[in-house]
Amino acid sequence: MKTSISQKDWTDRAAKVLPAAGFGNFEPGIVIREGKGSRVWDEDGAEFIDYLIGSGPMLIGHGHPEVLEAVEEQLAKGLTFFTNNARGIELAEVLVEAVPCADQIRYVSTGGEADMYAMRLARAHTGRDKILKFEGGYHGMSAEALMSLSPKTLVNFPQAVSDTAGTPESVRDDMLIAPFNDAEFARQLIAEHANDIACVIVEPLQRLIPPEPGFLETLREETEKHGIVLVFDEVVTGFRLAYGGAQEAYGVVPDLCTLGKVIGGGFPLAAVAGKKEIMDHFDRSIVGDKGFTFQIGTLSGNPVASVAGLKTLEILKRPGAYETIRKHGERLMAALTNALNGQGIAHQIVGDPVLFDVVFTDTPVKSYRDVLKGDADKAKVFNQSMRSSGILKPDSKLYTHLALTEADLVQTEAAMETAARALVA
């Protein structure tokens, strides 16, 4: 049912009070009114099967009744306290038990904060300044993270390129940039700068690009050899690739990892997790003033977010949950391949069954620069067609999830066929 205020009206109002008429996340022309299960509705009442899922957090779907019940119970007890609370402690116990690298965790509110603190912890622990990251890797909004995230100018490695105005030139000097999936380049770069590198930070599955065999293992071997902290950014992959995240799925355990999205069950919650000897830098009584890493956050460990996260993780741990999500993804990946092959369209399906998309290129996609070879015009037509068929997805990502139904999958498969035909119309 259409609301009394149209989506266009909301967009016009947003343009007056919000820069670029939006929150900076998604295209501002769509204003979501509500979500339930696998579907969302905009302010005009248009219905979509949701593969955006809040940019990842809603892995069990919108408004899951068990999560709502847990949240409602907590709401009656209090919204936030700033002090420790029992639910936050319980969730920390669950995270430590689930995540291979985690001896301890420290809460923050966003994944970007977690990444920032992970890099800061690594610097505190090693006494070194340089950070090695991989071109195209996303690690939040800190100055370090916004080096060579999506550079428009491709320069020689390991030079960094700032992706935002307002970043001091000095930040560039402490960043080393390497191509994802090039193990030998990383090995040589680490060896050359070993005495200066505090950490190597990497998305174990970089945006959509899976690691080549041996790549993560090389990073683990070389960082251990030189006393460098290895950080896995698992804000996306944590509790998505497997219950224990990419560490479980790929069998490579870092020193630190960052978690977010799924662990808050739709509420703002994230964490740094890792070895006690590194996490000790959050404890002044152990490391003293010189080694202490200062961190506080008004909503860190918020009890409402914690109960939502606890119930979400409980549901995901139940038998068959991950198998179901993977089967959904495998089915849709096959359908997309068949639809595009049927129209003779060159493409690569990139990612994992829990998180994937299509790149319109005949070249295998192993790094950020391979993604740039894709046909952006084809991608735009494809995504517009999917939206017209009632499929909500980001421009370069499709999240599968537990709430998808058989009807959803059938509609999505039909939308893929329609989108493939639109590319040759």
Q: How far apart are CA 112 and CA 224, in angstroms?
A: 25
Bridge pairing between strands 229-233 and 197-202 = parallel
Pull the structure tokens for residue 70.
Answer: 């847990």
What's the CA gap between 40 and 49, in Å, rounded?
A: 7
Please tell me which residue in 233, 352, 357, 370 is annotated as part of the active site.
233
- Give the DSSP H/E element, type plus range, for residue 412: helix 406-422
- Residue 171 and residue 252: Cα distance in Å, rounded? 30
What is the DSSP pairing of strand 256-259 with strand 270-274?
A: antiparallel
| Residue 261 appears among annotated catalytic residues | yes
- From the list 130, 133, 261, 311, the catalytic residue is 261
Measuring CA to CA, how many Å separate 151 from each of 135, 156, 169, 214, 239? 8, 12, 16, 26, 29
- Annotated catalytic residue, options 138, 250, 368, 399: 138
Which residues are marked as active site? 138, 233, 261
